[in-house]
Amino acid sequence: VTEAQVMLPCSRPGHRYCIDVETTNAGIPYADSFSVLTHYCLTYVSEFETTLQIFCQIKFKKHVWAVMKSLIEKNCWAGLEEFFDSLSKALSVECEETSAGNGIKRKTRRRRRAPVASLPVHAPDHHLPHLSSVAAELPSSAAAIRNRDDTISIINWILLIAVLFLMVINGLLYYKLWGLEDAAAYTVMDLHVLRNTPKTEDDWIQLLQQQESLHIVEMRKWQRVLQTAAQLLKQTEDSLTELQKSMHPMTSDKVLSVLKPHLKGFYGETADQRQHEDM
Question: pLDDT (tens digit, 9 = 90+) per residue, 222-231?
Answer: 888 888 888 8
What is the model's pLDDT at position 8? 92
Phi-psi label, residue 30: left if phi above 0, alpha if psi -120 to 50, beta otherwise: left
Could you tell me if 251 and 233 lie in one domain? yes
pLDDT value at position 136?
A: 39
Is the domain of 157 the same as that of 187?
yes
Start-to-end CA distance of the chain, whole Å, equals 66
Helix (H) or strand (E) holding 265: helix 249-278
Same domain, 99 and 180: no
Domain boundary residue, one of 139, 171, 186: 139
Are 70 and 6 within one domain? yes
159 and 30 in a single domain? The answer is: no
- The pLDDT-based confidence of 171 (bands split at 50, 70, 90) is confident
Number of domains in the chain: 2
Q: For residues 18 and 134, state if they share a domain.
A: yes
Residues 185 and 262 in one domain: yes
| pLDDT on residue 148 | 60
Please give the model's pTM, rounded to 2 decimal places. 0.39
Q: In what order do the strands lie in the sheet with 49-60?
A: 2-7, 16-24, 34-46, 49-60
* Whether residue 87 is found in the same domain as residue 200: no
**Per-residue model confidence as pLDDT tens digits over 185-198:** 545 455 555 566 66
CB 20, CB 49: distance < 8 Å: no
Closest by alpha carbon to 84, among 47, 122, 36? 36
Which of 139, 161, 182 lies at the terminal end of a domain, its last residue? 139
Q: Same domain, yes or no, for 155 and 204?
A: yes
The parent domain of residue 261 ranges over 148-278
Tell me: do 158 and 119 sit in the same domain: no
**Sign of the Cα pseudo-torsion (260, 263, 265, 271, in order):** negative
Q: What is the pLDDT, as a whole number, of residue 46? A: 86
Same domain? 23 vs 123: yes
> Predicted confidence band at 258 (pLDDT cuts at 50, 70, 90)?
low
Give the per-residue pLDDT at 264: 64
Asked whether the beta carbons of 13 and 26 are under 8 A apart, the reply is no
Residues 247 and 162 in one domain: yes
Q: Residue 125: is it exposed, middle or buried by C-beta count within 10 angstroms (0-12/13-18/19+)?
A: exposed
